[in-house]
Amino acid sequence: MTDQGSTIQLSHLEQTIYFAAQRQGMNLLDADAVTRLTAVSRPHAVNLLASMARKGVLHRVGRGRYAVIPPSVLHERKSYVTDPHLVIDELMNAAGIGDRYYVAYQSAASIHGAAQQLPFVLQVALPVQRRPVKVGQGQIVFVRIQPQKLFGFRQMPYQEAVLSASDREKTLLDCLERFDLCGGVGEVARTGSILLEGIQTDTLLDYLDRMDNQALTQRLGLILERLSSVQQVDQDLIDGIAREAGPHTYLLDPHGPTEGPVDGRWRIRENIDVVGEL
């Protein structure tokens, strides 16, 4: 293998592994994958991966796991900035997580065209604790969620890969529940105003019940009612949420000031103006 300025000296087996991964669209390699590609022993596969990483054709993204650096990057000797979306599904399968994960929060909103992607950061929800993983100059950040909240996602195509991501309804609820990960309540309101296009009322109400979070319910109801003054929002959706409102009063933004009028319908103290921030 050669680039514009130097030659990458790979052994025959290393070349076999690299080009087989390219042909099969494999963005991630580990020892088990190498043994399937070449029939070498597992210890030999571990050594081959380490050698290929030292030579610059693989990039370590976790214990025993390596992202395959594309030929175009090697040829041009460009800075390696792989897209974490392209390896997340393979990474989760290799870690034994399988389909118990989904791209979430601002990353999912970005997939749905409703938010700006955090630079080089992919937010992933899963029911177990995991440390962040560096991928090139990017990073995958894992957010542990309660197992009962692992719903509302589906397999979606992303460029040449496939990944699990929350649907529009779950993305809206997740972002509002963890607005600290999504730029604050005002930013979530802006994101929600876009996510609302195409949202199914029955699905959102069902998801909201499953989230079992009273503050989330009342904040969502108030935000949607305020949004209805500037865009079309299904009144049946707002009324359905209103039926689930409770007697306790919550701050719209728990990190904001404690002053502000209390909305009688939603029992939310409006300490920020979400419509004014749109």
pLDDT of residue 117: 65
pLDDT of residue 83: 76
Domains of the chain: 12-79 (1.10.10.10), 81-166 (no CATH), 168-278 (no CATH)
Exposure string over 100-125, b if 16+ CB within 10 A, otherwise e: ebbbbbbbbbbbbebbeebebebbbb
pLDDT of residue 5: 46
pLDDT in tens, 65-83: 888 887 766 766 555 556 7
* Average of per-residue pLDDT values in the chain: 88
Q: In what order do the strands lie in the sheet with 121-126?
A: 133-135, 138-144, 121-126, 102-103, 161-166, 153-158
Residue 142 · residue 124 · CB < 8 Å: yes
pLDDT of residue 68: 87
pLDDT in tens, 216-237: 999 999 999 999 999 999 999 9
Q: Which residues contact 149 (CB under 8 A, 6 or more apart)?
A: 125, 210, 211
pLDDT in tens, 201-220: 999 999 999 999 999 999 99
Give the residue from 166, 178, 95, 182 showing the smallest Cα distance to 130: 95
